[in-house]
Structure 1
Amino acid sequence: MSMSLWFSRMTAVVLAFSALAGCTYRGGDIGDPAVRKFHWYSYLEGEDIRANCQAGTPDRFRVVYTGLYDQQLRMYEVDSLRRVLSVKVVEPGGMGRLSFDDPMAPSRAREERVQLNEASYHGLVAAFAASGVFAPPPVGLELPSRSYHWTAATCRGGRYGFTAWKHPSPAFAAITFDKVLFGLDFTGIPVAAAGPVPFDPQLEDRAKRLETTTFTLKVGENGLGGW
């Protein structure tokens, strides 16, 4: 590889990485691939939730499952006032939704909204608590983009919190809220079950040639501590 080609590819990777990491999410359709490109890290961390979390504000819960970043993202948000669960799922291979009017349709999230009754709402919050959503975070835990993991950004009782779980681990295996969320998920898209990360020779080759972006997030004391 020539030096000029290496430099141009490295520049493209750095720009893509900066796009993911550099912009604060303050609301908007994270199911839109353009929004996701610039706000993913901030969305995961819940910067918008943290900025508005204070005594007297409604509880908010944002829980995200990454089934390998380039394969499946499942985003769950709970509106405690309206008792509504918002579900958004992104996966590759959505060419059946390709449209001349919207060429980005295959990359957009499939969305559903579920009205929760009191029992289902409180049952979900109880599952969050039992799984450690409101417990101290595992500071230093690394979350590679090519891994299976959950993150949770919350505002509960006026206090912001962020935590995460990575497969395989006892903490990941002990999660109970996943079954509750999946039971309320009517997108029709099968869950990418956690397991060994498959070896992808094409992805590895593109990574060596700096033609794709992979990243690793790290859990901090009050959000993401770096990447």
Structure 2
Amino acid sequence: MAGLAAAGLLAGCASVGPTDNPVARKLTWVSYLNGDDLRAACTKGETDRYRLVFNADYQKHVRTYDIVGDRGTGGAMVEARVLEATDLARIDLDDPAAVARGPVAKAQLSPRQFALFVLRLYESGAFEPAPSGVRLPSNGVYWLINGCRRGSWFFNAYPYPSDRFSDIRFDGPLKELDGGVQGTGVPFPALPRPQDAPRTLPTGGQRDSAGVVFEVQVGRNGLVGPTAPFGNWLFAGK
């Protein structure tokens, strides 16, 4: 219950998409995970949009990918972000907030690259029903994905360790993209041994040594519970 209450604090307002504002990001994080902004705009005729979030302990390493299709070219634009634990040695005195934003990279996918990415999502079961009832602790490792494809909303989760996580195929194109010239340049972290991976929140309440801990629960069509109880976040500018 403490973890769910902490999640509520992070779900204060509705997401308007990726943002460089660290305060807005925290206040809209669960709404962002749930893809509330993408779901609200998902109607027939709208551009295909995909969101993938890799959580390897929320306080240590998170990667986000927002992908927007281009109906004119058949390709897509990718906006990738890496959020890591604040490292004082990396602070830029000319832009102290940059360390909280994390590296951001944008890249254009060709029609072939975009088609391959969508195929890998399909092969990973992304468009099938989500594993309802699964709980994802913020200190754990998982992928959460959602989006709008051909006017239909989809949502799915891949906790580690699990067969679902082991069988994903969509991470290959993302890792290839991230490691390229236009990528973030930040490698994926090494996974803990399956027996060492957190499956529940740490004991002791809503905080551990790194900060707030929380938990989200997966339903068939998104996260369970209110994800933005206080409405839109009006100051979530990029």
Give the TM-score, by structure 1 length. Answer: 0.83
Could you tell me how far apart the structure 2 residues matched to 1:219 and 1:17 are? 13
5 Å-filtered alignment, 1:188-203, equals 188-196=185-193, 197=196
Moved more, 94-103 or 112-121: 94-103
- Aligned-residue Cα RMSD (Å) equals 2.7
5 Å-filtered alignment, 1:10-89, equals 17-27=7-17, 29=19, 31-81=20-70, 83-89=76-82
1:224 aligns with 2:223: yes
Cα offset for 1:113?
A: 0.7
SS state at 1:53 partner: coil
Equivalent pairs counted in the alignment come to 212
Could you tell me how far apart the structure 1 residues matched to 2:150 and 2:108 are? 22
Moved more, 119-128 or 205-214: 205-214
SS state at 1:22 partner: coil
| Greater relative contact order (Cα < 8 A, sep 6+) | 2
Higher radius of gyration, 1 or 2: 1
Could you tell me how far apart the structure 1 residues matched to 2:87 and 2:218 are? 31
CA 1:214–1:155: 2 relative to 1, 3 Å: same
Cα offset for 1:34?
A: 1.1
Cα offset for 1:181?
A: 0.5
1:98 aligns with 2:91: yes
2:123 maps to 130
2:161 maps to 168
| Identity percentage of aligned residues | 34
CA 1:151–1:15: 2 relative to 1, 3 Å: closer
CA deviation vs aligned residue, 1:57-92 (integer Å, no higher than 9, x gap): 111000110011111111011110161111111112
Cα offset for 1:114?
A: 1.0
User: Which runs of 5 or more residues in structure 1 are unaligned?
Assistant: 1-9
- The AA in structure 1 aligned to 2:192 is G
5 Å-filtered alignment, 1:154-165, equals 154-165=147-158
CA 1:122–1:72: 2 relative to 1, 3 Å: same
User: Which runs of 5 or more residues in structure 2 are unaligned?
Assistant: 227-238
CA deviation vs aligned residue, 1:168-203 (integer Å, no higher than 9, x gap): 10110000111111110121112113224578xxx8
2:177 maps to 184
2:236 maps to none
1:5 maps to none
More helix by proportion, 1 or 2? 1
